[in-house]
Amino acid sequence: MQQYFVSQLEMKESTITGDDVFHIKSVMRSRIGDKIIVSDESVMYLASISEINKDNVKFIKEEVIQSDTELPFFVDIYQGYPKGDKLDDICKHSTELGVNKVYAVNMKRSVVKIDSKKLDTKFARYDKIMKEASEQSHRNRLAHFGGIIDLKKIDFSKYNKLVLAYEETAKNGDLEEFKKAIKGLNKGDSIAILIGPEGGIDEDEVKYLTGLGFVCAGLGKRILRTETASLYALSCISYESELK
């Protein structure tokens, strides 16, 4: 059953607007009476479609759905800006795995240089991908794209844990730091995981980050591609917190 996020005003008025109208009409080919799930991030309802109009879809709330699909922690991924459409997949699949926010980070070895005139367009694209993935995976709250930012402009002081995914740590055989970091989390804690771009993390950046309190951690015995590392980390956190 398809889920849609609405604003609190839309929930009050039992109305869906925006891009989701096209999705309901043209992608799902929904009809009056079809069941959907609607959420305003505070309450979730099973609902039925009552009207399909040009600019909006009306629904009737039928019953509250009790659901808890969120990780017990707030996990933010700071992703060294990768090439091509890799960030699309990182945003989508990280959302499915429970991420809170994804940030794209300009680092020394980032190949991609973003035109400042295109920042708003890029931001909107990634946030839309994460909204759709939040709906597809029946999240209780929306995951968001946090923006495109230079490494040294980020304030990491709000986090309880800081983890730097660093391949040299794995090469040296140290596989305990990541396990320690995620086992030490308490419900409601926030953790930042920083992953380098394709070229890896420059040594000066490693020194800068460890000076801020980041722990260098290997993610398993194998060297992962940049677009795989966040998914590995989130899967481990999910296993540790939800499946053990």
CA distance 45 to 179: 37
- Say if residue 78 is in the same domain as residue 58: no
- Of 44, 242, 16, 7, nearest to 140 by C-alpha is 44
- Say if residue 120 is in the same domain as residue 146: yes
- The mean pLDDT of 93-103, rounded to a whole number, is 97
Q: Are 20 and 4 in contact (CB under 8 A)?
A: yes
- Say if residue 28 is in the same domain as residue 126: no
CATH number, residue 28: 2.40.240.20
Q: What φ, ψ does residue 100 adopt, rounded to 5°?
A: -90, -55
Query: Residue 126: which domain range?
Result: 74-243
- What's the confidence (pLDDT) of residue 173? 59
CATH number, residue 214: 3.40.1280.10
Final residue belonging to a domain, choices 64, 84, 111 = 64
In a domain, 147, yes or no: yes
- Say if residue 112 is in the same domain as residue 218: yes
- Where helices occur in the chain by DSSP H, the ranges are 8-13, 19-22, 86-96, 119-136, 167-171, 177-183, 203-211, 226-238
In a domain, 69, yes or no: no
Q: State the average pLDDT for the chain.
A: 92
- What's the confidence (pLDDT) of residue 244? 65
In a domain, 124, yes or no: yes
The total number of structural domains in the chain stands at 2
Q: What tokens were used for 62?
A: 């039928």
In a domain, 92, yes or no: yes
- What's the confidence (pLDDT) of residue 211? 95
